[in-house]
Structure 1
Amino acid sequence: MAMITVLCQMALLGLASAQVDKLPLMKGVRDLYPKFDADLPAPQKYSFTKWSADDIHRGIPRNGAWKDSLYDTESDRYCKDDFSVYNVAFADCPEPWVVGHCAKGAQSKETTFDVLGRLPSSARGVISDLIYVKTAPNHGVRGVAAHSATLGGKFSSTEGLPMMLGALLHDLPDTSEDEFAEAVAADTCVVDERAAADLKKGQYGWALEGALSVAAYLKLVKTPPLDASCMNNQLKYLSPFLDERWDAPGQCPNKIAPTLVQHKPFLFPDGLEVLDADPVPAADAQIIQWDKSDGYPQHCWNMSQTVSDTTDEVLCASDRLNVYNLTYSDCPGQEPWTVCHCSDSQQSVDTMVTKFGRLPAGLRSHVRHLFVVGHKHIGYSDSVNEWNFLLSVGDASDESYMTAASQIASREFVSSDTWKNAVSQDLCWPEPIYELDSPQYKVFASTGAVYLYDASGKSLLERGYDASCMKHGFQALGKYIGSDYRRSSKCHDRLPNSPIVHPDDANL
């Protein structure tokens, strides 16, 4: 595996699209790293404690290298039987760093600890955690994902410095890309040959990381001297960020704590869409279309006029926006739902009515308005909870209606200790989730859809799935609102329709 850095992502995005020609200051900036050895402090003394299996189960850093090492048996990095996690406290800072170490690698845990120990606590604090991973022979890896660092293979004791610089880049302001590009434009060179080549492709990531390395060299290394005057503007821009972090006074200044997440397998690793192959029954509905002169519900109209970032067109032009009243057979005597439909949607009106009708009456009653719009490439549903508004896009699946409606129904319960504790006790997630910092919101929505299928008259076991690994979430949702997910549920009062607006009104 080649050496990697988080800046690869920035390089892919590019900080400017125009081709730029600049001379390189040197052949390769990595040639500078060994020269830091004489000027970095000696490794700090440290003490460490080993995590228990329960500690690991409660949460590990979200950097994917941790999951690969501990849980992914298909990964080349898998090392569970030889993997340990430590809290490492250095003499200059009582707050520990989380360090994971695979004993199958070429370097010992002590050598790994020393990589952090050669940085002063102020600089070390930008690294939240460090993992040493297993690699193939004669291969190495160095990476930084946000503030979480990864090492593998053989490395020098100075590796902590480039890791620190990579993590520091994540603390730059949002405007740094444009400001750095302006600095490059004002200079006559960039750091090395790779940076010069990348600039010709409109990619600034390596130039930015390399310039920060040069700034560190000029700050820390006395000999041999380096004339970097040709990139003076880049250094003038970046050096204050380095100085602020490196020279911060006190013990453990601005130390960044690791983000720990609980690893669990997925009951539906390919997503809940697999359940749609055996759909739940749908209530029939009477459909009445509004005349254009009747206007539009304000929430539908406002949403329809949202301008797309990719097409610069509104989500649904008024000539394609239609409004319907839907009176479902399982809600006799109730006010009909007022729903909006864009005529170019991949979902026909009948399909929309069927998918919405697959929500049990109780769950459907949490939805104030439904709006269906088109999209050629994706299909999903989401909610605007403050409006009790369900938006369905493209060829959306049944389960996406269910998860979006569950988001609306979740309300304050999703943030309660009751729900959080239930989720933490479960042994699996319903499906892959990405907001692992606060998973309870997404997990409630997914659990709602799974609960609905289980309560539909054909249980999950009958469908071939054992959901016992998420029984605590099932029980908590059931006590909170489970009756609304049953086919026998009844309609209940919902928010009144949003005000009616007319596009030709002078105030619109």
Structure 2
Amino acid sequence: MASKAAAILSILPFALAILDKPVIQPNFPGNGLASLGQGLMDHLAPTHSTWDDWGAGWIPQDCKSLVEGAGLSASDVIPFNIHYDDCAQTWTFCRHKDSPLSEITILDIFGRLPVRMRSFVRHLVFIPGAKSAGSNGDNVLLRGDIDVTVFAHEIGHSLDSHAFDPSYGVPFSTGNVWISNYNLDSAVPDPYAQTSQQENFAQQTVISLYDKVVPGGIGTIQPNWQAIFHQYATLEGYIGDVIIPGGTCTHRLTDSPPVQMSSLAKGRRALGPKPNVALSPEVEEIEAIPMKSSITMTSFDEAGKPNGTYVINL
């Protein structure tokens, strides 16, 4: 366990950019998109919710895989259900007891995101440590004190894979519609977006959300918005109301199956009732992306600027 923990803390700077466009000038404040966070929190309204813990001793399989991959014990995790007023289906999230984000903070930040956007998330998993985040199988692993822009970015990866007509290409960021509009622009938002079209799309998700919900749009914070216009406008135009607040959820991912937190008698909690993870009849199923054997995490400095990556093997 000690060697694994050491390995996951090895942070590599971003690789040489593979996209052929420079970072927008002037840079976004702070050279990243964390500067969009306050505007999003100011203009995305909270959604009323309640929450309750899962039955003792149980954890969603994907949560357990991510937590143990990060070198932590599943027995230190509290899975909990969130019931938002705008969706008939609960979300099951998993919070390590030492995560700096409380359940109340998690409910608030996630609940501010548009419900149709939230619908493409399976589990969010919160663990302690230096700020970093990654997605795998429609699950998001969030380490440390993460803000709303990172929530939106990671959900953007699931939108890329699910939220568009498959005839446009899946992921959307690899299809002709996206690439042809990318080619019309002169820049990308930041060095993070330069690393791949998938990361560029996820950063453009944050920009598109800001552009739609903050009065005046992205031009209020980026005077050279024209340099990336075709990218974020294409996302907005083809994704429709998914990133628009309001409405209710009509489609949802199922939870991963409940498993016991520990297979060892000495680490096993007294088991409560096995949780029921069936979908509500009021929503249609979105087929989840299969989990991969590793998750690439992006790390952030204290100002929220992405500054490298590391890999967790599951």
Normalising by structure 1, report the TM-score: 0.44
Whole-angstrom CA distance in 2 between matches of 1:455 and 1:344:
35
The amino acid across from 1:416 in the alignment is: G
SS at match of 2:145: coil
Counterpart mapping for 1:258-297 below 5 A? 261-266=20-25, 267-268=27-28, 270-278=31-39, 279=41, 280-293=44-57, 295-297=58-60
Q: Distance in 2 between matches of 1:482 and 1:493?
A: 15
- Cα distance in 2 between the residues matched to 1:292 and 1:276: 35
Q: Indicate how the Cα distance of structure 1 residues 63 and 462 shifts in structure 2: closer, same or farther if over 3 A, else same.
A: closer
Q: CA deviation at 1:322?
A: 0.2
Please tell me whether the aligned partners of residues 379 and 397 of structure 1 are also in contact (alpha carbons under 8 angstroms).
no
Alignment CA distance shift 1:443-1:462 (3 Å): closer
Name 2:199's counterpart in structure 1. Answer: 442
Task: Give the CA deviation at 1:505.
Answer: 4.3
Q: CA deviation at 1:504?
A: 4.1
- 1:456/1:434 CA distance change after superposition, 3 Å: closer
Q: 1:398 aligns with which of 142, 148, 152?
A: 148
Structure 1 partner of 2:164: none
Distance in 1, matches of 2:74 and 2:65, equals: 11
Name the CA distance, whole Å, in 2 between partners of 1:434 and 1:277.
21
d(CA) in 2 for partners of 1:498, 1:374: 22
1:349 corresponds to 2:103: yes
The correspondence of residues 22-61 of structure 1 with structure 2, limited to 5 A, is none
**Does the Cα contact within 8 Å between 1:352 and 1:372 map onto a contact in 2?**
no
Change (3 A) 1:262 1:320: same
**Offset at residue 484 of structure 1 (A):** 0.6
Q: Is the 8 A contact 2:193 2:203 kept in 1?
A: no
**Length-normalised TM-score, structure 2:** 0.69
- 4+ aligned runs moved over 6 Å, structure 1: none
In structure 2, distance between residues paired with 1:415 and 1:469: 20
Q: Which secondary structure state, in structure 1, belongs to the residue aligned with residue 34 of structure 2?
A: helix
Distance 1:63 1:389 in 2: 27
Per the alignment, residue 379 of structure 1 pairs with: 131
Q: How does 1:347-496 map to 2 (within 5 A)?
A: 347-375=101-129, 378-384=130-136, 387-411=137-161, 412=170, 413-433=172-192, 435-436=194-195, 439-460=196-217, 463-466=220-223, 467-496=225-254
AA at the equivalent of 2:207? V
**Is the CA contact 1:455–1:487 (under 8 Å) kept in the aligned structure 2?**
no
Aligned residue among 32, 46, 63 for 1:300: 63
Matched residues, number: 238
> Do the aligned partners of residues 382 and 330 (structure 1) sit closer, same or farther apart at CA in structure 2, a change above 3 Å counting?
same
Counterpart of 2:233 in structure 1: which amino acid? Q
Distance in 1 (alpha carbons) for counterparts of 2:212 and 2:54: 35
Describe the shift of the 1:468–1:320 C-alpha distance in structure 2 as closer, same or farther (beyond 3 A).
same
Kindly indicate whether structure 1 or structure 2 has the higher relative contact order, using CA contacts under 8 Å at least 6 residues apart.
2
Q: Percent identity?
A: 24
Q: What is the CA RMSD across the aligned residues, in angstroms? A: 2.7
Task: Give SS of 1:305's match.
Answer: helix
Gaps of 5+ in 1: 1-12, 14-61, 65-258, 309-313
Give the C-alpha shift of residue 435 in structure 1. Answer: 4.8
